């Protein structure tokens, strides 16, 4: 047992990290762990978490970009408790007010991205949302050709894994036919012969090339994250998505925006990440921040596209149950009352400026990129070679933890630091994070 530790105002007297790790290894499938000594998280509150020894950390990764309004937010907790006492579960085979009330509120948030988004279906997670989005494309267009992007991540089922463009996230298994992956608009790693705009246009035109050469000329859909999260916070140039959109529409395809990481205000000010790029998605996938850690997801689309499932049985036991809808509605209310997307913009801009300042002093910071609190820092051996430095990334993560700050990492080579805290962070938190990063970088 670990020694009793004081955590915020509570005590932790549960098993130690070593005991939990051992029990997990004995009883569960193999699981990944960050850190040489895997960390036990005993408590969360706002933008902070505590370990089993009572040590407090700034949570700069938010449980993999999921805790949106803050750990255990009191408004969300209170409303969820009340719902738990009233009705835990029923399904859409019956009527209950929580579901349409939440659906209406969520759809209002999506109107700036596309005013025609007027039907939503609730799922349990992001993977399932990707799957349903693909089913919708097939049902609506009658076709099964999809284009996704390299460096993407869309989930863990057969279709979502087939759409995922990173070897690290693909098992050795036959993939589903009909899917092609186009180059991602990864400006930092573009060929030296092209400037950023030329490269963006080239990448967009590769989508057209795939349509022309690897499909019958018409497709079911195209899927992309507005900023690729897991792939290393890869942010396209402004020219990229509008040009792709035209190619997709010319080929009769539907445009799916995977907002599992970028949605719910994370990119700053706007609700969906795609609003930054000026194209109107036909289908929106959401999860993670939608439930602030409660397992839930959603797919939104137009009534016309949703109606393509009419006459087919479509059902989900847990998706959109009364507790999920209560959590989701409370998250939206807190997001609004505390102006968190606006805070994401302010703190994100501040963090980017500070990180870029640091970059001028250390060439191992290859690139600082992202929007709002969807930020990435690509670490390289030196500015000229741009050789990915995954060892440094792992080392920085360890050292920042020792400074009391947790962040994530990603990218195909594992060399991109991912900074995606709950959206309630303060300027002091941003300073703390950058200070810890600067210390960790010192050789």
- Give the footprint of ligand PLP on this chain (CB under 6 A): 125-127, 130, 153-155, 225, 229-230, 258, 260-261, 287
What's the min distance (Å) between Cβ of 43 and ligand PLP? 23
End-to-end CA distance of the chain: 36
Beta bridge partners of 406: 59
Our CB check for ligand PLP shows the closer of 206 and 258 to be 258
- Closest distance to ligand PLP from the beta carbon of 65 (Å): 7
Q: How far is the CB of 291 from ligand PLP (least distance, A)?
A: 10
Shortest separation between residue 220's beta carbon and ligand PLP, angstroms: 18
CB of 126 or CB of 281, closer to ligand PLP: 126
Q: Measured from the CB of residue 113, what is the shortest distance to ligand PLP in angstroms?
A: 16
Determine the Cα–Cα distance for residues 403 and 395; give it in Å rounded to an integer. Answer: 12
Sequence-distant (6+) residues with CB within 8 A of 214 are 180
Q: Between 46 and 273, name the residue whose CB sits nearer to ligand PLP.
A: 273
CB of 229 to ligand PLP, least distance (A): 5
Shortest distance (Å) from residue 24 CB to ligand PLP: 19
**Closer of 295 and 404 to ligand PLP (Cβ):** 295
Closest to ligand PLP by CB, 176 vs 194, is: 176
Tell me how many degrees the CA angle 43-49-55 measures, rounded to the nearest 5: 95
State how beta strands 10-12 and 41-45 pair: unpaired
Q: Which is nearer to ligand PLP, 380 or 416 (CB)?
A: 416
Q: Which is nearer to ligand PLP, 65 or 351 (CB)?
A: 65
What is the number of the residue whose Cβ is closest to ligand PLP? 126
364 or 369, CB closer to ligand PLP?
369
* Smallest distance, ligand PLP to C-beta of residue 124, A: 8
CB of residue 226 vs ligand PLP: minimum separation in angstroms?
10
Three state DSSP letters for 31-90 = CCCCCCCCCCEEEEEECEEEECCCCEEEECCHHHHCCCCCECCHHHHHHHHHHHHHCCCC
Q: Quick one: 54 or 291, whose CB is closer to ligand PLP?
A: 291
Of 259 and 389, which CB lies nearer to ligand PLP in the complex structure? Answer: 259
Are the C-beta atoms of residues 418 and 229 closer than 8 Å to each other? yes
């Amino acid at each position: 047992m670990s020694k009793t530790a004081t955590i915020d105002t509570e005590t932790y007297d549960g098993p130690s990290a070593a005991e939990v790790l051992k029990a997990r290894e004995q009883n569960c499938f193999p699981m990944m762990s960050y850190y040489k000594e895997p960390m036990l998280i005993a408590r969360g509150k706002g933008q902070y978490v505590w370990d089993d020894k009572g040590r407090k950390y700034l949570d700069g990764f938010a449980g993999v970009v999921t805790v949106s309004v803050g750990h255990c937010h009191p408004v969300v907790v209170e409303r969820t408790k009340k719902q738990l006492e009233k009705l835990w579960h029923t399904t859409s085979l019956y009527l209950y007010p929580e579901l349409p009330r939440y659906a209406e509120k969520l759809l209002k948030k999506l109107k700036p991205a596309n005013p025609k988004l007027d039907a939503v279906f609730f799922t349990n997670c992001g993977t399932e949302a990707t799957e349903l989005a693909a089913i919708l494309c097939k049902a609506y267009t009658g076709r099964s050709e999809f284009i996704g992007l390299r460096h993407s991540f869309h989930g863990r089922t057969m279709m979502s894994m087939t759409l995922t463009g990173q070897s690290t996230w693909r098992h050795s298994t036959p993939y589903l036919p009909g899917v092609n992956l186009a180059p991602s608009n990864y400006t930092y790693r573009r060929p030296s012969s092209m400037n950023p705009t030329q490269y963006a246009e080239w990448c967009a035109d590769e989508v057209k090339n795939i349509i022309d050469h690897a499909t019958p000329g018409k497709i079911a859909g195209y899927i992309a994250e507005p900023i690729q999260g897991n792939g290393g916070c890869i942010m396209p140039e402004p020219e990229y998505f509008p040009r792709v959109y035209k190619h997709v529409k010319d080929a009769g395809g539907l445009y799916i925006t995977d907002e599992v990481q970028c949605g719910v205000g994370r990119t700053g000010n706007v609700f969906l990440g795609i609003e930054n790029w000026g194209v109107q998605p036909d289908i929106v996938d959401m999860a993670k921040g939608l439930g602030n850690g409660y397992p839930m997801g959603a797919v939104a689309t137009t009534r016309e596209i949703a109606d393509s499932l009419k006459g087919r049985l479509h059902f989900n036991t847990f998706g959109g149950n009364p507790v999920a809808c209560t959590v989701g509605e409370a998250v939206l209310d807190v997001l609004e009352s505390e102006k968190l997307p606006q805070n994401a913009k302010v703190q994100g801009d501040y963090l980017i400026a500070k990180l870029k300042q640091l970059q001028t002093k250390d060439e191992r910071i290859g690139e600082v990129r992202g929007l709002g609190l969807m930020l990435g820092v690509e670490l390289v051996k030196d500015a000229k070679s741009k050789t990915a430095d995954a060892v440094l990334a792992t080392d920085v993560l360890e050292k920042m933890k020792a400074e009391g700050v947790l962040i994530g990492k990603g990218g195909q080579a594992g060399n991109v630091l991912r900074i995606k805290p709950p959206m309630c962070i303060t300027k002091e938190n941003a300073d703390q994070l950058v200070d810890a990063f600067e210390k960790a970088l010192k050789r």
